[in-house]
Structure 1
Amino acid sequence: MLHRASPLAAAIAKAAVPLTGGADDYTPLLDMVGEANYVLLGEATHGTHEFYEERARITQRLIVEKGFNAVAVEADWPDAYRVNRFVRDQGDDSDAVQSLQGFQRFPSWMWRNTAVVDFVTWLRSYNDGFEADDKVGFYGLDLYSLFTSMDEVLRYLEQVDPAGAAAAKARYACFDHYQDDSERYAYAAGVGVSESCEGAVIAQLQALQQRALEYMQRDTANAHDAYFYAQQNARLVINAEAYYRTMFRGRVSSWNLRDQHMADTLDALIGHVGAQTGTQAKVVVWEHNSHIGDARATEAGKLGEWNVGQLARERHGDQTRLIGFSTYDGTVTAASEWGGRAERKQVRAALPDSYEALFHDVGIERFMLDLRIDGLVRAALMEHRLQRAIGVLYVPKTERQSHYFHAQLPRQFDAMLHFDRTTAVVPLETVSKPTGGEAPETYPEGV
């Protein structure tokens, strides 16, 4: 018996823009972006090749055709800044693979994979034709690098202000007896076993800011960039300390603190890039759908969670575009437990009442759907449906409980890109190195 698509699936098929792999695939998406300055590109998993590859294709066109001048990703600030130095021809790394060596902790495959290598290589080549201030940068928005960022603050101060470095070391000594283990600090401070280091880390940022002008006026190359990097590390230490302290108080408080940090880092980056280039900052963001889809349209939002997408819309209005990604089935790179090896896992067919199953019913292998266009399709998609989210862990046995939530898609995203069958991202290695005390990336939510 021939399969007949539902009336809604048939209507979506008429409204959808097929993606064929051609050079003009994303022209309608760029038209939808228009004059917006901030484009947030999602992913339904942390381990799907097509999501990374297509985000790169879109980002390349945004850079070349619309003048976007920064890429900000769901990664720690120090690790991503090493890549930033490479793509801007400022670091010591000889190639893209080497520039990604900072991403060693679980799940290293999020950024140490072949698709990211290809994009970073392209970005370095593209930047070769521009002066230093006009090169496109690569930055991290996340906050898991508590001890690494403290080390980076100290390293900076040792170069510009040895006395200030000694004072900073004394302030950060509050963490010494946790042996560079952020999870130990999270437990001790979170449940009141010991006093928090909150006052010390705030004092350190204030000390750094008080001498900002002096530090930036020093006759050294990239003085403004170096100070900005150090200042953001000091801010990260404050927010990471608070994040770990609140981790044991419940998901909502820690989630909100993390996404608030990422949104604030994005805004700081917008200001820095604008000042550096003398033009409007135009930023592409790569994060999981859970972070860039407006939380107010999800059941998590009803529980009090907010996220980067919501905050970006509230702060920047129509200057923001939120683009979601989805898949029906295929394979994914994910682990079965925290700290586990990267596995190539089979993605189960989406549940019948989900958006993913509806898009599978459309019968188009890959397509874009503009969710801003009023009409029958947008109205019908307003019905709450299940949506799948796979992070760094994939647990098929508990698929419904672990990986699905309800959402209103047209309120959550401006457009959706659907790839019906997808393949696992290819890691540069299948086993992450020990965390070295830092908590794993995305801990404890997995996205």
Structure 2
Amino acid sequence: MTAPIRDAARPFTGESLTALLPPGLRLLGLGEPTHRVEAFPDLRNELFRHLVEHEGYRSIALEIDCLAALVADAYVTGGAGTLDEAMARGFSHEWGTIAANRDLIAWMRTYNEGRPADDRLRFYGMDGPLEISHGASPRPALTALHDYLAPHLDLPWTRADLDELLGKDELWTNPAAMMDPAHSVGRTPEAEELRLIVDDLRALLTANVPLLTAATSSGEWWRAELRARTLAGLLRYHAGMAGPAPTRMDTMLALRDTIMADNLDAIVRREERRGPTLVFAHNSHLKRDRSSMRMGGRRSEWWSAGAIVSCHLGDRYAFVTTSFGGRGADVPGPDTLEGILSSLPDARSVIDPARLIEALDKKPAPRVPADYTYAALDPSAIDQTDAIVFIKEI
């Protein structure tokens, strides 16, 4: 390894990472290259504690169902219930079983004890109510939204009307619809009518925000708007599942990241007066350049949530990508970027992308990982990141 490459790196600490970030951030994206590897959420927890204690951050968002996350947030901010209940009901994708996530929720609850409400840490989900195998039924969110509005506005729909349009929940959650649009109910006449109703409910929420916040609270209105926004995205996603075009998977991937981007924009607006937000998700959801994946022999491409919010926030958004070297027998080649960075002396390093580009005497070869779920560093996109965090071995 040449000296300039060593000079581009520092041992990982919260201070060494934030030193590379632009001032005035509202949203810091910390990506992980693959899920369910303890090293990355552990590093996230360490960084978040530093950001809270030294940089004024007051919230974090994870790649989980934004509606389920309301349960975990209620616990974090001092609500009733137990940690076990928060982990079981406040996470999607079975990520409540991850030890680092449990540590995060427990630490946030402890930190918030005795603090005024406006200074307490908040916990968010950035994803929609979407699992790998299916999308959720709109019923829970639509029922809650109707129940919020009904005592204060003269709505033209009853819960019975909505139930009739919704039909059976198992029709919405049918896993066969993921690969076969014929099994989706996303474009039935009932689903199309529900999309119009949700659009009208969102308009009512906005038009009556002074009345509704006075009658309830700003927090309750925000949660109602979250449900309305989520319903609109969820119904669009179900319609995408029902699409017959060969590009339907591209559409579904793009719609999911659009939901994520809408949620992140809303979080930034809500947290504007309190402090910046850390968001932790897969690199493919936070990167600035175009995302891609191969499924069923076909390559899909779409713009990620990070690419979208970066256009909205400009230099108030920063993206930190993470990667690793060895993972058992999966060792990167010496001519790959991961192979080059594996020669760094520290177990965890923070790399300045600009200095790394200057230090490289030739373009590294792309890594072909043994694990298809791992997104290798793209040597051509180094300039699209504000910092790289590299773990030598996991």
The normalised TM-score by structure 2 is 0.82
Q: Is it true that 1:295 corresponds to 2:289 in the alignment?
A: yes
Q: Which AA in structure 1 matches 2:390?
A: H
Q: 1:384 to 1:149 in 2, by over 3 A?
A: farther
- Counterpart in the other structure of 1:46: 35
Shift of 1:414: 1.0
Shift of 1:30: 1.9
Alignment check: 8 A CA contact 2:187 2:239 kept = no
**Range with bigger deviation, 152-161 or 133-142:** 152-161
- Counterpart in the other structure of 2:99: 114
Aligned partner (choices 244, 248, 251) of residue 250 of structure 1: 248
Q: What fraction of aligned residue pairs are identical, expressed as a percent?
A: 20
SS of residue paired to 1:42: strand
Aligned partner (choices 194, 198, 204) of residue 198 of structure 2: 204
- Counterpart in the other structure of 2:17: 29
Aligned partner (choices 45, 66, 73) of residue 77 of structure 1: 66
**Range with bigger deviation, 321-330 or 156-165:** 156-165
Q: Which AA in structure 2 matches 1:324?
A: T
Q: Which AA in structure 1 matches 2:309?
A: A
Aligned partner (choices 415, 420, 424) of residue 392 of structure 2: 420
Distance in structure 1 (CA, Å) of the matches to 2:129 and 2:86: 19
Aligned partner (choices 341, 348, 357) of residue 339 of structure 2: 357
Distance in structure 1 (CA, Å) of the matches to 2:148 and 2:186: 36
Shift of 1:313: 1.9
**Range with bigger deviation, 137-146 or 191-200:** 191-200
SS of residue paired to 1:78: coil
- Counterpart in the other structure of 2:144: 155
- Counterpart in the other structure of 2:173: 181
Shift of 1:293: 1.7
SS of residue paired to 1:93: coil
Q: Is it true that 1:102 corresponds to 2:89 in the alignment?
A: yes
Q: Is it true that 1:60 corresponds to 2:49 in the alignment?
A: yes
Q: Deviations over 1:95-135 (max 9, x none)?
A: 2x321112576x41x34211111111111111224211221
Q: Is it true that 1:170 corresponds to 2:161 in the alignment?
A: yes
Q: 1:241 to 1:77 in 2, by over 3 A?
A: same
Q: 1:241 to 1:191 in 2, by over 3 A?
A: closer
1:45-444 aligned within 5 A: 45-89=34-78, 91-95=79-83, 97-102=84-89, 107-108=93-94, 110-145=95-130, 147=136, 150-158=139-147, 161=150, 164=155, 167=158, 170-171=161-162, 173-177=164-168, 179=170, 180-181=172-173, 183=175, 187-188=181-182, 194-195=188-189, 197-211=191-205, 212-213=208-209, 214-218=211-215, 220=216, 223-247=217-241, 249-274=247-272, 279=273, 281-296=275-290, 304-330=301-327, 348-351=330-333, 353-373=335-355, 376-377=358-359, 383=363, 385-386=365-366, 396=370, 399=371, 406-422=378-394
- Tell me the number of residue pairs that the alignment of Structure 1 and Structure 2 aligns: 373
Alignment check: 8 A CA contact 1:297 1:407 kept = no
Distance in structure 2 (CA, Å) of the matches to 1:258 and 1:198: 19
Distance in structure 2 (CA, Å) of the matches to 1:197 and 1:281: 39
Distance in structure 2 (CA, Å) of the matches to 1:36 and 1:69: 13
Aligned partner (choices 7, 31, 52) of residue 14 of structure 1: 7
Alignment check: 8 A CA contact 2:145 2:227 kept = no
Alignment check: 8 A CA contact 1:297 1:411 kept = no
Q: Which AA in structure 1 matches 2:161?
A: A
Distance in structure 1 (CA, Å) of the matches to 2:368 and 2:74: 35
Alignment check: 8 A CA contact 1:69 1:136 kept = yes
Q: Which AA in structure 2 matches 1:228?
A: W
Shift of 1:200: 1.4
RMSD: 3.2
SS of residue paired to 2:343: helix
Alignment check: 8 A CA contact 1:71 1:137 kept = yes
Q: Which AA in structure 1 matches 2:341?
A: F
Distance in structure 2 (CA, Å) of the matches to 1:417 and 1:348: 19
Shift of 1:61: 1.4
Distance in structure 1 (CA, Å) of the matches to 2:258 and 2:226: 14
Distance in structure 2 (CA, Å) of the matches to 1:149 and 1:85: 22
SS of residue paired to 1:141: strand
Distance in structure 1 (CA, Å) of the matches to 2:259 and 2:65: 11
Structure 2 residue runs of 5 or longer lacking an equivalent are none
SS of residue paired to 1:362: coil
Shift of 1:142: 0.8
Alignment check: 8 A CA contact 1:150 1:237 kept = no
SS of residue paired to 2:366: strand
Distance in structure 2 (CA, Å) of the matches to 1:244 and 1:352: 44
Shift of 1:160: 5.4
